[in-house]
Every structure is written in structure tokens, then in C-alpha cells.
Structure 1
């Protein structure tokens, strides 16, 4: 499936397209007015493939804490409370479970992270939402690094992973047993490779001392540092700083690392950007930072794919059954020769019996025609494909309507019901007085009861009812739809019903039910 990785770092956005298991060359957009305008034009013309937004910024905090060991809703509530306490703005926040304490209450160890400046993402995320692009999630580069370090020859329990990005970032991420504990982003100074080597070594020493002050390092062994960089920079690092009692360097050529993660062809870069983008596109990790309101288009996208897949499965099943009938027909042809003699024998006996039988009111050929017609009707089959495609096409513009169940039948009677019940209100296409009075030749009808709900729902029943009626009108606008009847509205306002509610209800629901009839014309059936 086609997808894209958007990489936000150093005030620029890189767009990588995933095609055939590889990443194409990126498009770059600056974080200014012109860059955002170009980004908007790109989103307007590019296919609506899902987007994985990878972020590498200085404004990211990491806090490791423990919480009581609880599960389910209690854990989610506890984590949300802790995020609100730790971060001033937890819009883009994440909690990663990292095992349990070995002693005492055996509390859960949790790494809490957050992007503390949401305004860095707002212009980009706003454009993505404006163009209704499916956003699969927002991801932290240090957390994605856990996927990378598992592919590297890392054996030490305490490891520091150092990578360089083309936007000028030097990312240092500390791991304990291959789980992120903290990360720091420094900005590389301008200049040549020799100057870069001394700067990298200086930053490594700073973070080593910081880790030592936090008692994160063992006293009897050095810190294992894994540097992923170009061969030239690694040579300068090796020459300027050999291993010592406090630090042990592991130098990894960025091109070799690209092969370790499964990238094809020549890498052709001194930086790690494409490696992280490749891992994210290939693994399609669960969302980390994006709130549900920003991933709703991706939810709709996946639901639409599910409906299409179900429709295709129904078609394949129908073709399979038809193929079995064809095979049976060929087998029958093979038996024709042996049956011919038996047919002649029985034909002679039939003629004898016909002469002995009394006269009947119907001719034999009429009886034969009736039997053949009954057999034709018996062999006729239909599938809910047309109904599924009709609903899928209409739901595209109603992202707040969630379908929970569909009951379906096929009939030559458009007024056939799925279970006895009485409709609240009827709708039919303009120009039709009633389904039964339609003069257009119809071979059969497909009838469905659709049960669903309005979500998210904030208690505004008027708005929910209007949304259901708009959906009813959208269905009626389709030429194949004969009628759409509202069976149940989110709020029953009919005169014979008692209007009631419960003020203590914390999460009201807005459920609805529609009765949909579509017809298959004779000219369509062929």
C-alpha cells in the first residue's frame, strides 16, 4: 500500500514517498509562508496516501517515572493525569510502558514524553487536516530509534546512540536494555568534518557526565557509544578519541547501517534521515503523539478500505460458486454419450405411457417451459455488493456517522421488510409518488437496515438529527436509490412519544437507523 513519511526537523519538512518497498527522493518545504504555500499546493495535487509524521526537534522532554500497577481504564486515567501534571501542554504527549519494578509494590515503569511547543507542528498539521489527508500518526525520532537499535550489533545494556541528520541535528539517545531512557538534540556547528568530529566528541562527553550524575551508568564499566555517520567523520573520531576507561566507541558507517535495516541500492548520503524514514514507512508503528481528532481521516480511510475489501471478497465468493457450476457442466458433457442411449430408451417408454394416459389441460411444452422458468429463478443469485458500494460512496462526506450494523435482503418487492416494524418517515427520489407505483422496469431490489451512531457527539441532538437527514438526502441523490426511510432518529420527537432523558448520563449517544431500498433495472441487468 502506498504511503508517505513527512520528516519535520530543523525548521524544514521533508516528504518521502514509499514506492515498491523503497523511499523516493524527498521534497523539501521551508517553515515560512512560501514553504507552507508550496506544501499546501503539494497536498492539493498529490494522491491521498496515508502520512506518517516523524518529528526531530529540540523541544521534546523525557521523564521516567513509576505508577501503581493497574490495568484497563484505570491505567489510562492514571497516565492521562500524570501527563497533565508533568507537561504544561500535553497536546502531543506519549507514555511508553517499560516493565515493572523488581521489588516492593512492583510498580510500572513508564517513560513520559511530550513535544512542549505544539506551535511548531500546528501549521503543518493544519494543512494536512485542511486537505483531508489521512494522518496515521505523529512520531518521535528517539522512540523510533528503538526500532533501529534492535537492528544494530548492540550487546551492551547501557548504550548511547549518536546519529546526524541533514538538517544539522546531532541526536544522542540513551538506552538501557534497548529501551529509550532520555534523548538530547544538539545543533551541529558549520564547518568541515574535522571540526565536526571534535564537536561530536565534546557533546558525547557532556551527556556521559550528565548520565553519571543521574546514576544511570554502572561504575565498573565504560559507556558504549554507537556512532552512525559517514566514513570520513568516523575516521576523524577514531583518530581524535581512542577508547578509554569511561567511554568505548563503536563506529558504524551509515551506508552499512542502511543495509542492516533492509534498504536497497546505494545509500548515497552521509546522514541518517532516510534510515529513520525507511523504518517508519516499513514498520508502520502505532501512533505516538497525534490526538484522535487529528487521525480521524485515517480512520475513515481504513474503514473505506475495509468496505471495499469486503465487497471484493463477496464478488470472489460469487465467482467461485459460478466456477463450480461451470465445472459441473463440463462433467455433465462428458457423460452425454453414455446417457444418449438411456435417453432413447426412456423416450420410447414415455411415448407408450403418453398414449395410455388421459388428456390433460396443458400442453407438455407449456409444462416444460414452466419447469425451466422455475429452475432459472432458483439459479438466480445476488450479492450485497451494490448496496455496500452505495453506502461506501455516500459515507465519504459524513465522517461523524459510524455504521455499527447492516441487515440486508434481496426481493422483487420494494416494500419487503427485514423484521416487522413501522417506519418513522419516508423519503423517495423526486418524481416518484411511491415505490409500488414506479413505472420503470425493475427486476429486483436490494433492501438494507443500517444502524449507526453520530460520533463524536456533544449532546447537540438538533445537529445530530440534521446530520442524519443530510445523509438521507445524499443517499436519495444517487440514481440507484429508490427510497430511504428513517426508522430511528438520535432523539425521538414524534407526538406520540414521551421526551425524556437523564441529566446524570455522562456520555449520551446519538443512534439512528435507516431503511434503504435500491433497485436493479432491466436494462442494467442485461
Structure 2
């Protein structure tokens, strides 16, 4: 659910209600600082349930001072600051501190900025309405602190400058910054509305401010005080004519658009007052709270905790779904691997059954024992020995030195016809029948199938001669070993789906014409001695 946000600007005389719409801050209502105004605001706040409230004030009795404390660890410094706050602002709960670095000489103590609303009545009269309704107070901010924290973003400002801005219904806010740190701030009421009257008041206030800063030794007696006033584009030339520079005071007049650009917010043209820009900054950037005590922010903090718990719960659910999907995918992969393993096991069983004669299982009778002995003899004594075969094959290949052997594959099969694909299972064998008692066991004819893959060196471009060499090699096997031989892979690949590069500038990775020869040799069995019972 989208929650509405309201922005309040408080002065000593009134409260204005603002709302952000389509990136623009707009004033919705204004209430006087009296009983009737508080009652009207209370009626509005009662209807605006579950809204977020941002409070910006510019009050006369906002105190600002810079003091030094000993440089100690963070815990002890916090105790020193809390003790000093209790001494300075015992009657107010609206206070703030900021660390401004360390002194350059002496003990190099820490500089601490103490700010507080010394008279909390103008704030309490409006905030009590929100506190009673347990409204979501996001934060309380002041124009002086926002100026001290963010005005240095304006390009072209001198290192030491007195920034003056006008707020509607409050007056002239004067904030002195030295190297980005606030040293002095005060508010004066506007006495006149005309440019000439405001220019005269600006000159008088600038002279007083310079005298006060010189008494604090914030500036030297002969140092020039730079005054920067924020105004509208139409007022720049008028103020420039009405406020000439003196020997110790120099004036600059910047349009409000410069401040809006520095804060990355939008503002209407020819804007005279600064509070719409600061309220737009609150709406866009949501800065850290400055003055609101924890007791007033408790409903908003509880809402933040609840939202964080909700987001955390959603993340846990998403993590659970992700983990569940991962485990499900892993289980599915395991099932697929189990299926592949079962298929490989079935294939291995078929190959084993095709190469090993079935054993006769029966009672331990003389005929059954004879079958067991016969099966053992076939497995051990009659298993093929490739030693002699490889010697004969080597003698043939020695006559063809150009043939470089890459790979030898061999198998034992009951069929002289080799399988077309290695993944294809051999044809099933007929079930063995129990032999009659006393009948000799019959051995099934088996064959050794050997396949030799290699290359004819320096024949990659002489395919006709390579074909002739392949035919001669097959003929040599038939003459010298008496085995059936055939060419499995021709020196020229003639598969229709293959791609032949006629204009390729890069040669093949393996030199030589490929050639594969298959030899089929019957497994010659020799009679074995009859085992003694």
C-alpha cells in the first residue's frame, strides 16, 4: 500500500502543509499559530491516517554554538557530549550534535557543534497533535542545519561565507560557514517587503554579523566578509544595485535555481523563498533525522521494523523456493544418471552374454559338474591370446612404412558380421538347452574382430594412390595371414553431410590420408584334456 507523505514548515507565527506531486512540492494549506489553527490542523491530521510526516522549522529560538571537548574514544566522547547537552538544554528535547573535526593546535581537542530549540513551545503545540494520534514522524529538520550540511554544494562559494536566505513567514536566515562547517546562525524578521527595504535591512544585518564574527575571532578585523544571498532571478539586478560592496563586505546574489541544482531538485521559476526547495529535498532524498527524539519516532521505527521483517520473510520464501528448485533439479539429474547407468549396465550384460557361453545351472550331478568344467575351460583356457595375432599383423604393417597407426579396437563376437554402431547391442543368443547326459559339450564358433585406424603419411593429396595402397594392404592380410580384411574408412571422406573446403588456406591438423582396416579372424579352439573327476 502506498503511504501518503506530508511536509510541514513551522515558523513562530504559522504552519504550512505541503505535499509532493509529480516531482513538484506544492502547498496545500496554512494554519496560524493559535488555538483555531491547531484545531484545524488536528482535524486534518485525524483524517490523514497512516501518513508519513516530515517537519521542517525555522524558529527564532534555535541555539547554535561550537565548543571543544577532549579527544577521547567514541564511548567517552558520547558521555561528555550527553553531559554537556544536559547542562545546556535541560528544558528541551529537541537537540542535535555534529563533529566538526579537531583543533589545529594545543591538545587538538574535538570541535562539536551543539544545536537545540531552546524554547520548544512553538514545536510542541503542533507535534502534540501528531504524537497523540501515534502518527509516523519520519524526522524533524531545521533550515539552519540543512544549510550547513548541503549549501556548500553550490559551485563558486568562497571558503568563508555568510549565506542568507528568506523563508516565508519566518524571515532572514543567516548562516556562516567556514570551510564547510557552521560557526554561527541566527534568524531575523523581515521588516519590509520591498526590495529597497530588504536591501537596507540586509546591509544593516551584514554589518552586525561581521561585528559579531570578529568578536568571536571567527574572522580577522580586516578580513572581507563575503555575503551570498539567495533570491529570485528577477531580484538579482535590483539587489545588486541596492547593495554596493564596501571595503569589508562583498555581496553576491544567486538565484534559487542554483541551490535547487546543487540539491538535484526542481523548483518553480522566479522563486523568492527557500523553504520549497528544502521541502523538495526532504521529499526526494529522505535525509537522516536531526531533531526528533526517539519517543516521537517510535511508531515510524516500528513500521520500519515490520517492513524489514516482511521483506526478510519474502526473501526467506524466495530462498526456500530457489533451494527447493535446486534440490528438485539435482534429483532429476540423479534420476537421469541412474537411467543412463541402468542402460549401460543392460548393454554390458548383453555384451557379456554374447561373448561368454551360458553356464548350465543344475544339481551337482556328474553331467552338471562337467558343464561347469567346460564353462571354466572356455573362460580361462580358450580365451583368445592376441600375442600371435599381433605379431602376424605387425609383419604385414612393416611392409607399409607410410602407414602410421593411431588406434586399435578389438572384440570377440559370435558373429563374423561386425556391428554397424558400437552403441548397438549384439543380437540376442538363443537360450541354451540342457545337454543330454553323457553328450559332449558343443562350443559356439567365435571370431576376433580387430580394427586398425591410422594415416598414410604424405598421401593427403594423393587419394588415388592412397586407395591403391589400401587395397594392397587388404590383399597382404589375405595372403600372409589368411584373414578376411576390409577397408572401413577410405582415404577420402565421402559422407554427404561432411564439409569439404576446397579453398582453405590452412592445412589439416593431422598430416596424411586417413585409413581404417578391419580384420576378422575365426577363433581357433584347441582340444583340452578331459579333466579327471
- Using structure 1 for the length normalisation, give the TM-score: 0.59
CA distance in 2, matches of 1:165, 1:171: 8
Shift of 1:154: 4.2
Aligned to 1:304: 306
Aligned to 1:91: 93
Secondary structure, aligned partner of 1:64: strand
| Equivalent in 136, 140, 144 of residue 146 of structure 2 | 144
Aligned to 1:165: 167
Aligned to 2:263: 261
The question of whether the paired residues in 2 share the 8 Å contact of 1:142 and 1:183 is answered with yes
Shift of 1:48: 2.2
The question of whether the paired residues in 1 share the 8 Å contact of 2:16 and 2:27 is answered with no
1:126 aligns with 2:128: yes
| Equivalent in 202, 205, 213 of residue 204 of structure 2 | 202
Distance 1:269 1:237, change over 3 A: closer
The question of whether the paired residues in 2 share the 8 Å contact of 1:61 and 1:115 is answered with yes
Secondary structure, aligned partner of 2:85: helix
Secondary structure, aligned partner of 2:15: strand
Secondary structure, aligned partner of 1:98: strand
Q: Cα deviations across residues 259-300 of structure 1 (Å, max 9, x unaligned)?
A: 332123634632111111122333333332222222211221
Aligned to 1:39: 41
Secondary structure, aligned partner of 2:245: coil
Shift of 1:173: 0.6
Q: Cα deviations across residues 76-99 of structure 1 (Å, max 9, x unaligned)?
A: 221122123233524222222111
- Determine which structure has more spread, i.e. the larger CA radius of gyration: 2
Aligned to 1:50: 52
Shift of 1:189: 1.8
The question of whether the paired residues in 1 share the 8 Å contact of 2:151 and 2:259 is answered with no
Distance 1:191 1:54, change over 3 A: closer
CA distance in 2, matches of 1:18, 1:131: 23
Q: CA RMSD in A?
A: 3.2
Q: Cα deviations across residues 112-145 of structure 1 (Å, max 9, x unaligned)?
A: 1221111111121111111111223322211111
CA distance in 1, matches of 2:159, 2:246: 18
The question of whether the paired residues in 1 share the 8 Å contact of 2:18 and 2:25 is answered with yes
The question of whether the paired residues in 1 share the 8 Å contact of 2:168 and 2:275 is answered with yes
Distance 1:159 1:13, change over 3 A: same
CA distance in 2, matches of 1:185, 1:30: 20
Q: How many residues align structurally?
A: 347
Aligned to 1:232: 234
Secondary structure, aligned partner of 1:138: strand
Aligned to 1:317: 319
Aligned to 1:109: 111
The question of whether the paired residues in 2 share the 8 Å contact of 1:61 and 1:113 is answered with yes
The question of whether the paired residues in 2 share the 8 Å contact of 1:188 and 1:196 is answered with yes
Secondary structure, aligned partner of 1:162: strand
CA distance in 2, matches of 1:322, 1:22: 46
CA distance in 1, matches of 2:14, 2:144: 18
Aligned to 2:102: 100
Shift of 1:323: 5.3
Alignment map for 1:26-425 (pairs within 5 Å): 26-87=28-89, 89-264=91-266, 266-267=268-269, 269-321=271-323
- Using structure 2 for the length normalisation, give the TM-score: 0.58
Secondary structure, aligned partner of 1:263: coil
Secondary structure, aligned partner of 1:150: helix
CA distance in 1, matches of 2:24, 2:137: 20
CA distance in 2, matches of 1:255, 1:154: 14
CA distance in 1, matches of 2:306, 2:278: 29
Shift of 1:229: 0.8
Secondary structure, aligned partner of 1:290: coil
The question of whether the paired residues in 1 share the 8 Å contact of 2:162 and 2:225 is answered with yes
Q: Cα deviations across residues 323-342 of structure 1 (Å, max 9, x unaligned)?
A: 55787899999x89x98x96
Shift of 1:165: 0.8
Aligned to 2:459: none
Shift of 1:185: 0.6
Distance 1:179 1:265, change over 3 A: closer
Shift of 1:59: 0.8
Distance 1:318 1:228, change over 3 A: same
Secondary structure, aligned partner of 2:128: helix
CA distance in 2, matches of 1:81, 1:198: 43
Secondary structure, aligned partner of 2:254: strand
The question of whether the paired residues in 1 share the 8 Å contact of 2:222 and 2:248 is answered with no
CA distance in 1, matches of 2:331, 2:36: 67
Secondary structure, aligned partner of 2:220: coil
CA distance in 2, matches of 1:100, 1:316: 49
Distance 1:218 1:72, change over 3 A: same
Q: Which runs of 5+ in 1 are unaligned?
A: 350-526
